[in-house]
Chain A
Amino acid sequence: MAILKDRKIIVIGDRDGIPGQAIALCAESAGGDVVFSSTECFV
């Protein structure tokens, strides 16, 4: 998880997978700095 610490992170979640907000929370809890997060639809 240390790989995310103090890194700038762009999150693209999948509507039919893991939502962007959930990934962003994980990334932040690992010390990452989420600069953009959205959930997209690919279907």
Chain B
Amino acid sequence: MNSVIKGTSYILAHTPEMVLYNGTTQTTERTVNPDSEYLKELPKHLRSYEEAVAYYPNQVYIGNVTPEELAQIEMPWYDKPVEGAERFGPFGEIMPNDEFLLLIQISDEFDLVKLEADFVEKVRPALAENPVVTPAMLDRIKPGVELAEIDKFVTEEAAEPLYFGGELVGCVKRAHNIDLNLSAHVLHENLVTKASGVLSVLHALRSSDVKAEEIEYLIECSEAAVGDQNQRGGGNIAKSIAEIAGLQNATGSDTRGFCAAPAHALLEAAALVKSGVFKCVAVAGGGCTAKLGMNGKDHIKKGVPVLEDMIGGFCVIIGENDGVNPELITDYVGRHRVGTGSAPQAVISSLVTDPLEQAGLGILDVDRFSTEMQNPDITRPAGAGNVPEANYKMIAALAVMRGELERPQMKDFIAKHGVTGFAPTQGHIPSGVPYMGFARLGLMNGDFKRVMIVGKGSLFLGRLTNLFDGVSFLMEPNRGVKKEDDKAADTDEIRRLIAESMRDFAHSLMLKAEQEV
């Protein structure tokens, strides 16, 4: 039996100061052109927390607004705030910067994160009110230090500064004087990924009926490389997340594959559960500081706020078939093969039409395709177009080529079978998985019969291969399972039928014998 999707979570953390000090567009600019107009102008274009919460795509990400509702809002979206927007949604939350800094400190196991004492005291009560933060996590909060100590670490020992409201409130220390993989910059990046991964796992537990101790394996699928100079990327950020999130019975491992990693990880999780190796596996991905403000120059040029100010995260819990939750279909999956090539048509064919052909299905049999869910409000001003729409155009074109669709119907197909992009440009975060929460609900309430999740990854960015990559799979409603009671009832019925037949047979033999006498 296929495994099922028991819960999903989607979280965001508002980190405007990390845009300034940790996004690579800004760190590069600071290196090559420290007095640039861009760096001077940038702080004026950052959003407040309230603006980030009220931003339509963010509300979609945490589940308070549907992508279908978003599609009805005219772009641009940044100037149309959601009335009465909430911090929490059915899938997760939008955490403010100060609470997220404290979560980073909670996630620190090596006393590398130093926060100012007053800041800790002020923020602790707010974090304690968060329904997903456990008492064990609150116990990990350290009292805090004097600002002078933080300043010394930053100015004299290459610590990475942490800011809130324009003020220095903490730092991440380096863990080695020479090893670049343990530099403050890298550790800051990895701790942010870890903390956002922890928050994602906690919300996935909250949104499902799964208890922390039931999760036996955690697969982490971000793009962070954890390790020192002797084992760069050595990893197991998964287990470090499981430890803080209180998954006492879990071990785990990391899966990497650029933006395609979440889809790879979900296939692995589904296979581990379906094969019986584990009963319950979680897949989680924390966010990425490097990509904050990635398109900031274009946003400022076009008079758009710097919309890449959110750290993203997600978690999906895969469990044994319970007869209720939607199934993750592993009978036929799409995969970009080495021989597929990199032409967009070949890529989409390998991921979309090949698995559908295996299943004896057509493109129109899929109610929704979740490809790359990048928010076009972010990508369009930067000249990168509407990424989800480009994918849907290619799928629609393939449907026309296969005779499933007439050319004039392409636009309607995209509107009906596509999903409006709403995810932050956080690398692996937008790739297929952001829609799994809505897909799960739609498959459970009968709105959908089939949803396809497509993950794609740009392997060439690592300069080891020019290949593209990707995998895809289908989600379908639960086909129903025979419960033990049902099986027992079936067995009793078979016994009854056999007994009845034997009685009839014996009776006919007796009649025959009597007639012969």
Contacts and interface: CB of A to CB of B under 8 A. Distances in A.
Interface string B353-395: 0000000000000000000101000110011110100100000
Contact of B458 (A15, A17, A18): A15
Interface residues on A, range: 10 to 19
B167 to A, nearest CB: 32
B384 A21 contact: no
Contacts of B382: 42
Contacts of B378: 43
* Residue of A14, A15, A40 most packed against chain B (CB within 10 A): A15
A11 B344 CA distance: 17
A26 interface: no
Nearest to B468: A19
A39 B466 contact: yes
Nearest to A14: B384
Contacts of A42: 294-295, 379, 382-384
Contacts of B390: 16-17
A19 B342 contact: yes
Interface in A1-43: 14-22, 38-43
A26 to B, nearest CB: 12
Overall SS of chain B's interface: loop
Contact of B387 (A19, A21, A40, A43): A43
B458 A41 contact: yes
Category for how many chain B residues contact A: 20 to 34
Given A16-B390, A21-B466, A43 B374 contact: yes
A22 B460 CA distance: 14
Nearest to B426: A43
Contact of A22 (B295, B342, B374, B425): B342
A22 B390 CA distance: 18
A17 B468 contact: no
Most A CB within 10 A of own CB, among B430, B466, B468: B466
B461 interface: yes
Nearest to B456: A15
B57 to A, nearest CB: 14
Nearest to A16: B387
B73 interface: no
B343 A19 contact: yes
B385 A17 contact: yes
Contact of B342 (A21, A38, A41): A21
A43 B460 contact: no
Contacts of A40: 461
Nearest to A19: B342
A43 B466 contact: no
Contacts of A20: 460, 466
Nearest to A15: B458
A14 B383 CA distance: 11
A16 B18 CA distance: 27
A22 B343 contact: yes
26 contacts: A16-B384, A16-B385, A16-B390, A17-B385, A17-B390, A19-B342, A19-B343, A19-B344, A19-B468, A21-B342, A21-B466, A22-B343, A39-B342, A39-B458, A39-B460, A42-B294, A42-B379, A42-B383, A42-B384, A43-B294, A43-B372, A43-B378, A43-B384, A43-B387, A43-B425, A43-B430
Of all A-B residue pairs in the complex, the 4 with the closest CB atoms, nearest first, are: A19-B342, A42-B384, A15-B458, A41-B458
Given A39-B342, A43-B372, 20 more contacts: A14-B384, A15-B458, A16-B385, A16-B390, A17-B385, A19-B343, A19-B344, A20-B460, A22-B342, A22-B343, A39-B458, A39-B460, A39-B466, A40-B461, A41-B458, A41-B461, A42-B294, A43-B374, A43-B378, A43-B430
Interface of B: 294-295, 342-344, 372, 374, 378-379, 382-385, 387, 390, 425, 430, 458, 460-461, 466, 468
Interface of A: 14-22, 38-43
